Amino acid sequence: MLTHAIFFVLGLVTLIVGAELLVRGASRLALSTGISPLVVGLTVVAFGTSAPEMAVSVGASLGGNADLAIGNVVGSNIANILLILGISALVAPLVVNEQIIRQEVPIMIGACVIFVAMALDGDISRIEAGVLFALVIGYTVFLIRQSRSASRELTDEYAAEMPADSNWDRHWSVQLGLIVVGLGGLILGADWLVDSAVAFARAFGVSDLVIGLTVVAVGTSMPEIATSIVAAIRGERDIAVGNVVGSNVFNIFAVIGVTGLVSAGGIPVPEAARNFDLWVMLAVAFAALPIMLTGREIARWEGGIFIGYYGAYTAYLILAAQDHAILPAYSGVMLGYVLPLTVVTLIVSMMRHNGRAA
């Protein structure tokens, strides 16, 4: 247990240091290349922090465990919105870039719709996987070209915000080095943290089912969690939000695309995912837009709602896996009271914001 405790602490420290290096390198790279921090968050940071999902899904598919490959992506996308944005907003209210609302969230919703449509027949074929992978290439090229043409006038503004003591990391090679080392620290720290947490849970008699639904699911999203929290603390809120939205797009287009391409017969989609989890992922993606529209920021109370819903979703998974007697009553309360109350609250908030704007 002492060894696990040591690795738990080391994993946490490595995550924090890795996130700090990644955010610093990414924000400086944005300035050096004339690309906005938002686009760096949507691409370099988001794709890098999704490396664990890529490794898990490809490895699971090659090992014949397609359920894990699909569940990993769907679960990570749900956690990215509800858990990571929720925690980040509690740390510091997240002012949302207009491009996120106008362009990136609709693209994320579109990616979810495409994924669900492809999965409804019970299989992601190699052709469909190839289409998804082609989409991530086109999306990345589009973002970079758009940013380079639109952000020329913002470069001086970013330069003015750079601390005076940051001369040592002004060269692009140093910035790339910070990003690579930071990503390595995130992946290594997440691995140590998850392994130690699983060992602790088993020592206290927690079942493998509950461990898989909680510790491991959150563990694969630890790089995104650490990066977004550090970015929010440092005031790099475009990177914090862009990391989440970009990771969700990357998970669908790249992770599912590559996984389907390396799988001989494509990726079978389990019936349970088609009946429930895919729709939760789609609903969460749609829910992100109206919350951002209630003032172009994710407030602390909205972050609290996100975290509450993630807890409710996790509780549902545990109850459903155990076929618990309380499940029907729990589902009834969520559908009959909690969800409608949340919708009404968001509508009232949006109306009040529109009234103040007028």
pTM of the predicted model, to two decimals?
0.77
What's the full length of the chain, in residues? Answer: 358
% of the chain with per-residue pLDDT over 70: 78
**The pLDDT of residue 326 is above 80:** yes
Higher pLDDT, 32 or 280: 280
110 confidence band (pLDDT: 50, 70, 90):
very high
CATH number of 2-159+171-324: 1.20.1420.30
% of the chain beyond a pLDDT of 90: 12
The domains of the chain are located at 2-159+171-324
User: For all residues of the chain together, what is the average pLDDT?
Assistant: 77
Distance between CA atoms of 168 and 156, rounded to whole angstroms? 19
Higher pLDDT, 104 or 333: 104
* Separation between Cα atoms, residue 303 and residue 84, nearest integer Å: 9
Using pLDDT thresholds of 50, 70 and 90, give the confidence band for residue 291.
low
307-317: string of b/e by CB count within 10 Å (b at 16+)? bebbebbbbbb
Non-local (6+) Cβ contacts of 59 within 8 A are none
pLDDT at 341: 65
Helix (H, G, I), strand (E, B) or coil at 325: coil
Is pLDDT larger for residue 3 or for residue 292? Answer: 3
Residue with the two structure tokens 């130690």: 196
Distance in angstroms (rounded) separating the CA atoms of residues 201 and 260: 33
**Residue 179 DSSP label:** H
Residues 36 and 140: their CA atoms lie apart, in Å, by 13
Are 227 and 19 spatial neighbours (Cβ–Cβ below 8 Å)?
A: yes
Least confident of 36-50, 87-101, 127-141, 342-356: 342-356
Higher-scoring residue by pLDDT: 98, 108: 108
Provide the pLDDT for residue 135.
Answer: 95
Helix axes 172-203, 222-233, angle to 10 degrees: 120
Cβ(323)–Cβ(98) below 8 Å: no
Helix (H) or strand (E) holding 190: helix 172-203
* Residue 253 scores a pLDDT above 90: yes
Contact 300, 90 (CB under 8 A): yes
Res 261: pLDDT: 92
pLDDT in tens, 111-161: 999 999 999 998 999 999 999 999 999 998 888 787 766 555 555 555 545
- Cα–Cα nearest to 313, from 325, 330, 299, 298: 330
Got the DSSP string for 83-96? IIIHHHHHHS-EEP
DSSP for 18-44, please give it: HHHHHHHHHHHHHHHHT--HHHHIIII
